[in-house]
Chain A
Amino acid sequence: MTFGLSKDQIGVTESQIDTFGELIFQLSHNVQDRRGDPVRRKDFTDYERQRAGFGMSDAEIAERIGLSKAQVTAIRNIVERRKVRTTTYYRLNELGGGKRFRADEFVAPEDRPAPSGKALALRTALQFDPDRTRHYVGQCWWGNDTLGGWLQRHAGERPDHEAVAWDGGTLSYAELEKQVATVAAGLRGLGIGSGDVVAVQLPNTADCLVAYLAIAAAGAVMTTIYMPYRTDEIRPLLAHSGARAFVCPPQLDDFSPPQAVLSLKDDLALLEHVITVGGAVDGCIAFDALKSPDGKRTTAVDPPVAADPFLLLYTSGTTASPKGVPLNYHTMLSNARLGAPEHGFTANDRLLSAAPFGHLFGLYSIHLALAVGATMVLLPAFSPPGLVQTLTALKPTGLFAAPAHIAACLGMGLLDDADLSSLKLAILSGAQVPPDLARAFDGMLPNGSVSQLWGMTELQAGTYTRPGDSLDVVAGSAGRASPGAEIRVVDENNTPLPAGEEGELQVRGVHLFSGYFDNPGANAAAFTDDGWFRTGDLAVVDGQGNMTLTGRSKDIINRGGVKFNPLDIERLLDQHPRVAQSAIVPVPDDVLGERACVFVVPGEGDPVTLEELCAYLLENGIAKTKLPERLEFIDAMPLTATRKIIKGRLKPSR
């Protein structure tokens, strides 16, 4: 209605709107042009020439173009409604107080991409108990820590402090932050945004670190692919995670990750980009291009917050297929922030991880370093000489390693004369630490000590010994619960057991994930009704809270009602000279329910017999009811990427 008249009454049609709409809009006060200063100069001739540019009233426009005033008003009103938005007040929300509007950095809300369905599903998976959330926030355990926030803080406070050091180079915090921001902008330019998954198969290089932090800064989620994985292992992980990009080196020995993944693209609907680090490959994006200084540095539209997912890791899968573990900053970074002072780390420390960054233990070293602004010392790929060389040359103060790493160095005698004086703490994790190894290595550290840590993909650092703990505690246990976390040992009825009794280890706390991704079956079995996570590990907790793993609950053998954990037996068998490696699994039995079957990788000499093994075990105090009743030889144990035996694949021949 215009002046009480309908469009029909005043003769306005859609064709008329199409014909005159833009012209009327331009002639109206909606668009104004002035040349020079005719009003101030009272140059009426010039003003008359420019009158249309100054903006004309509807009556003037009507006179000018040959429509009625009512028609002009009606058309102008309709065109304004169609062209002019009115809900732009939000543009002011971030301005003022020294901050100005920058057109080149502004992204209108309607232009911001919505997270993909997969990204939203990841967020949906992060459902925590509201009461525990309130508790964690109330205790200031959960705050708004993000990797990007930590990096920016350190770059701002101590820009020249060494952030990364490796054999051949260093990066200051300012340099690292700049590279990360550039690559993050590059990723966003590829359409990688909030909640999108980026798969990374890289060694522990500076580029890997930059990629990780850039993925996080872009609001995306990193999923790691273990370095030994090949096409068959990579495919299901990319499919399940819904990865939109894959970052990898051009070549790994005789395997080309980019070529392998490019060949999978037809099967992986969500995968869009393959990014190669350290070389160009046809059909792929070079990581160096994302690192280009010409790359535009822009601020993320929605910088990540602590509740956001930033990691999607997969369990190593000792008993079943790998399960996706979505992790947010709240859990992982609170675990690191609270853990750093427990380990005694400060900004002056230099942390070296022999563990791959594809494993959460390796990432924990990054999280700890960034929590305090320490230096991250890099060892691209573990080798015993490489580790010792890095320890000697780059002088780390903190070492994160698996017992196997240290055992290999010890076995080669590389540590005997090595200068380990810089080390103040060596954290061993990833597998049960043999007490003798812990003692031996501890004795080699003139200015430091060994710590034993137990963790899982689902919770990062669960328990650890602290500097100052006695060597007996360090060698014999994985220490006490990390800050903000609780552990308990329960029987098969979920009843907590007193100190010293063996049972299933359960955990809850600030570090605990909320559930497996897209796996309701696993989630139903993983948690108790009151929120404790069933680790599947058998453990004993002593009176001081120190936890010692004793085995896996799924490895328990139930022989006619007599249940026993085969771990001690396996340890004994592994010391037999004619056994290279052993694993005991249950086999179904009509009479007893289950019997023990031992799989053996032959060692030196003639193959050992079952009778010889049983005699050996009896000599070493093993009860007769726990003796294996079948023997199977195997060339090599099926192993996870983290070198754990996949017992589920050990099937006795019939």
Chain B
Amino acid sequence: MAQAGASGRRGQSIDPHEAKEAVLGYCLKKGALAAGVADLDAINRIAPPGHRPADLMPRVKSVIALGVGGQTQGAWTVPAKAMAYFGSTETRAYTVAYGLSFFIENRFKARSIYCPPDLDNEEGPRVPLQSLKLHAELAGIGARSLAGDILLHPEFGYMYFASVFTELELPPDEPMQTNPCPAPSCVDLFRKQGQTPCMKFCPAQCLSGDIDEHGQQAAMHYEMSKCAELSEQYEALPRILSAAMAAEDAAAREDVLSDVDNSMFWYKMSVGSGGLLAQCFECMRVCPIATRSPLADPIRRAEAREAAANQDGTA
């Protein structure tokens, strides 16, 4: 729990509950459907070493999770290959989180970061730097489903999540009291066919599980490797090149490289290259102009604005 009378970096007295109300209010105003504060102690008990919030931000005191709507209703009706292009919806969550970290620094003068959603590839297959899922679940804005632990919310369904770490102390929320998964109709199908809809219709057939006599999740089995065959397409690139190199002749090589499925990867690589590649930033981290110019620091910018406003008021 956040302590009353907690202070921001600049020493102002901040009421954690008021701060939390402001933080969550910001999230909802900017488009999040749900937001909450995760129990940092619980995260530290569950996340393995190297993937705890303090591993990323040493003085983190609170983890804020927010979720934005997954898809429009119309999107669920379009062909699967077209829907694949809607996958960038999660960037809306990142945008809110990114803005929230600025908001907290501006408003409460407490250092904050937008938690990178990316993978920590050296640690295992598709292991994230930080588990946004864990943050959201502990913040009470989603519960693990039978569909590969995708989080579901009883009101907002399927959401994209983002997290913000901050040195501002905020009182944590509790996980949801009940898990909306499986839905009664899914239980019915499971009783009849031994599969819930997500298991039955998964193109990779990567899901299985069990439901107890109360209609609650008893077991979830998820073969991420199979799922990744379909969904983690970046893994295809080296294999396509490898297959091309191993091709028997020039014509077969061209077949591999120009295969219609494979061409989708080239397309995505081309489209995504601006946002997905060359995102190192180390040159900027060490650049004094970039980081230490008078108004490069958002907190300084805010202080400057406030100072200017006070001066005008005095005048």
Chain A positions near chain B (C-beta within 8 angstroms): 3, 25, 28-37, 39-42, 44, 47, 55-61, 73, 76, 80-81, 83-93, 95-98, 100-103, 106
Question: Of A42, A57, A101, A106, which one neighbours B50 at CB under 8 angstroms?
Answer: A57
Q: In this complex, what residue of A is CB-closest to B220?
A: A34
Verify A86–B125 contact, CB threshold 8 A: no
| Complexed CA–CA distance, A84 and B148 (Å) | 18
- Chain B 47-60, CB-CB to A under 8 Å as 1, else 0, gives 01111000000000
Least distance between A487 CB and chain B CB atoms (Å): 43
**B18 on the interface (CB 8 Å rule)?**
no
Q: B45 contacts which chain A residues (CB < 8 A)?
A: 44, 47
- On whether A37 and B144 interact (CB within 8 A), knowing A29-B124, A73-B122, the answer reads yes
Given the contacts A39-B46, A40-B143, A40-B179, A57 and B127 also touching, CB distance less than 8 Å: yes
> Across the interface, do B77 and A91 meet the contact criterion of CB distance under 8 Å?
no
Select from chain B the residue with minimum beta-carbon distance to A85.
Answer: B229
A91, B202: Cα distance in complex, Å = 10
CA distance A402 to B149 in the complex (A): 71
Complexed CA–CA distance, A472 and B196 (Å): 73
Query: Who on chain B is nearest to A58 by CB?
Result: B124
A92 to B81, CA, bound (A): 6
The total of chain B residues at the interface (CB under 8 A) is 62
Q: Is the CB of A76 within 8 A of B81?
A: no
B289 to chain A, nearest CB (A): 33
- Contact indicator A92/B125 (Cβ below 8 Å): no
9 closest pairs, A vs B, by CB? A86-B236, A96-B80, A96-B79, A30-B225, A95-B80, A92-B80, A91-B203, A101-B203, A88-B229
Q: Is B224's beta carbon under 8 Å from chain A?
A: yes
B292 is an interface residue with CB less than 8 A from chain A = no
How distant is A527 from chain B, measured CB to nearest CB, in Å?
31
Extra inter-chain contacts (8) besides given A91-B204, A92-B230, CB under 8 Å: A30-B228, A37-B217, A47-B45, A58-B124, A86-B235, A92-B203, A97-B78, A101-B202
A77 and chain B: residue at smallest CB distance: B125
How far does the Cβ of B79 sit from chain A's closest Cβ, in whole Å?
Answer: 4
B271-315 CB contact bits vs A (8 Å, 1 = yes)?
Answer: 000000000000000000000000000000000000000000000
Looking at the complex, which one of B123, B143, B201, B259 makes contact with A101 (CB distance below 8 Å)? B201
| Structural contact, A34 and B219, CB atoms closer than 8 A | yes
Provided the pairs A40-B144, A44-B46, A47-B46 are in contact, do residues A87 and B261 lie with their beta carbons within 8 angstroms? Answer: yes
Nearest opposing residue in chain A for B236, CB measure: A86
Cβ of B76 to closest chain A Cβ, rounded Å: 9
The one of A57, A61, A84 that contacts B228, using a Cβ cutoff of 8 Å:
A84
Which residues of chain A are near B77, meaning CB under 8 Å?
96-98
What are 9 A-B residue pairs whose CB atoms fall within 8 Å in the complex?
A: A34-B149, A36-B217, A37-B217, A44-B45, A57-B124, A58-B122, A86-B233, A91-B203, A95-B79
**Interface contact B46-A87, CB-CB below 8 Å:** no
Does chain A have a CB within 8 A of B205? yes
What chain B residues lie within 8 Å of A88 (beta carbons)?
203-204, 229-230
A102 CA / B230 CA spacing, docked (Å): 16
Residues of B within 8 A of A97 (CB): 77-79
B126, A93: Cβ atoms under 8 Å? no
Alpha-carbon gap, A60 to B48, bound state (A): 8
**A102 CA to B125 CA in the complex, in Å?**
28
For residue B239, CB closer than 8 A to chain A, the reply is yes
Q: Measured between alpha carbons, how far is A39 from B233 in the docked complex, in Å?
A: 29
Q: Does B250 sit at the interface, judged by CB under 8 A?
A: no
Which of A33, A47, A58, A100 interacts with B201 by CB under 8 Å? A100
Q: How far is the CA of A83 from the CA of B77 in the complex (A)?
A: 33
Query: Is B115 part of the contact surface with A, judged by Cβ < 8 Å?
Result: no
Q: Give the chain B neighbours of A39 by CB distance below 8 A.
A: 46, 134, 137-138, 144, 175
Interface residues of B in 211-243 (CB under 8 A from A): 216-226, 228-230, 232-233, 235-236, 239-240
Which residues of chain B are within 8 angstroms of A93 by Cβ–Cβ distance?
80-81
Complex partner residue of B264 from A73, A80, A81, A89, CB under 8 angstroms: A89
Would B261 and A32 count as touching, CB distance under 8 A? Answer: no
**Which residues of the other chain, B, contact A84 by a CB distance below 8 angstroms?**
225-226, 228-229, 235
How far apart are the CA atoms of A433 and B27 in the complex, in Å?
Answer: 89
A30-B224 contact, Cβ under 8 Å, with A42-B42, A90-B261, A97-B79: yes
CA A34 – CA B202 in complex, angstroms? 19
CB within 8 A of A28: which of B124, B200, B222?
A: B124
Residues of the A chain whose Cβ atoms lie less than 8 Å from the Cβ of B167: none
Question: CB-CB < 8 A to B204: which residues of A?
Answer: 88, 91
- Contact: B240 with A87, CB < 8 Å? yes
A56 to B175, alpha carbons, bound, how many Å?
23
**Could you tell me the distance between the alpha carbons of A90 and B260 in the complex, rounded to whole angstroms?**
9
B264 touches A30 (CB 8 A): no
Minimum CB distance partner of B143 in chain A: A40
* Residue in chain A with minimal CB distance to B208: A33
Q: How far is the CA of A366 from the CA of B89 in the complex (A)?
A: 54
A95 CB, min distance to chain B CBs, angstroms: 4
Complex Cα distance A37/B180, Å?
12
B136-177: CB near A (< 8 Å → 1, else 0) gives 011000011000110000000000000000000000000110
CB distance from A165 to the nearest CB of B (A): 41
* CB–CB A29/B148 < 8 A: no
CA distance A561 to B74 in the complex (A): 82
Whether A96 lies near B81 (C-beta < 8 A) is: yes
A29 adjacent to B143 (CB under 8 Å):
no
Q: Does B7 contact A (CB under 8 A)?
A: no
Known: A34-B144, A97-B78, A101-B203. A57 touches B219 (CB 8 A): no
How far apart are A352's CB and chain B's nearest CB, in angstroms? 45
A92 and B84 form a contact (CB under 8 A): yes
Please state if B221 and A32 are interface contacts (CB–CB under 8 Å): yes
In the complex, per-residue mask of B254-269: 1 if CB is within 8 Å of any chain A CB, else 0: 0000010110100000
Chain B residues closer than 8 Å to A34, beta-carbon distance: 144, 149, 217, 219-220, 222
From B42, B80, B138, B222, residue with most partner A Cβ within 10 Å: B80
- Point out the residues of chain B lying under 8 angstroms from A41, CB to CB: 175
Chain A residues near B201 (CB, 8 Å)? 100-102
A267 to chain B, nearest CB (A): 35
Q: How far is the CB of A478 from chain B (nearest CB, A)?
A: 48
Residues of B within 8 A of A56 (CB): 48, 124
* Shortest beta-carbon distance from B129 to chain A in Å: 11
B1-54 with Cβ < 8 A to chain A: 39, 42, 45-46, 48-51
With the chains together, A60 CA to B127 CA distance in Å? 12
Q: How far is the CA of A101 from the CA of B221 in the complex (A)?
A: 19
* Contacting residues, chain A, for B203 (C-beta < 8 A): 88, 91-92, 95, 101, 106
| B111–chain A nearest beta-carbon distance, Å | 27
Whole-angstrom CA separation of A106 from B78 in the bound complex: 21
- The answer to whether A37 touches B179, judged by C-beta atoms less than 8 angstroms apart, is yes
**Does B246 touch A at the CB level, under 8 Å?**
no
Given A86-B239, A96-B80, A57 and B175 touching (CB < 8 A)?
Answer: no
Q: Are A30 and B125 in contact, with the CB atoms below 8 A?
A: yes
Q: Which residues of A contact B42 (CB under 8 A)?
A: 42, 44
Q: How far is the CA of A37 from the CA of B204 in the complex (A)?
A: 24
Q: Are A31 and B225 in contact (CB under 8 A)?
A: yes
Residues of B within 8 A of A102 (CB): 201
Asked if B82 is at the interface of the complex by the 8 Å CB criterion, the answer is yes
Cβ–Cβ < 8 Å partners of B123 in chain A: 57-59
Chain B residues near A3 (CB, 8 Å)? 122
Q: In whole Å, how far is A561's beta carbon from the nearest beta carbon of chain B? A: 57
Residues of A within 8 A of B176 (CB): 40
Across-interface contacts of B79 in A (CB, < 8 A): 95-97
Q: Given A84-B228, A95-B79, A97-B79 in contact, is the A29-B125 Cβ separation under 8 Å? A: yes
Bound: A106/B203 CA distance, A: 9
Q: Which chain B residues border A76 with CB–CB below 8 Å?
A: 124-125
The distance in angstroms between the C-alpha atoms of A32 and B220, with both chains bound, is 8
Give the complex CA separation of A98 and B76 in angstroms: 9
Q: Whole-angstrom distance from the CB of A582 to the nearest CB of chain B?
A: 61
A90→B80 CA distance, assembly (Å): 10
- Quick check: B83 and A96 within 8 Å, CB to CB? yes
C-alpha spacing A61/B48, complex, angstroms: 12
Whose C-beta in chain A lies nearest to the C-beta of B46?
A: A47
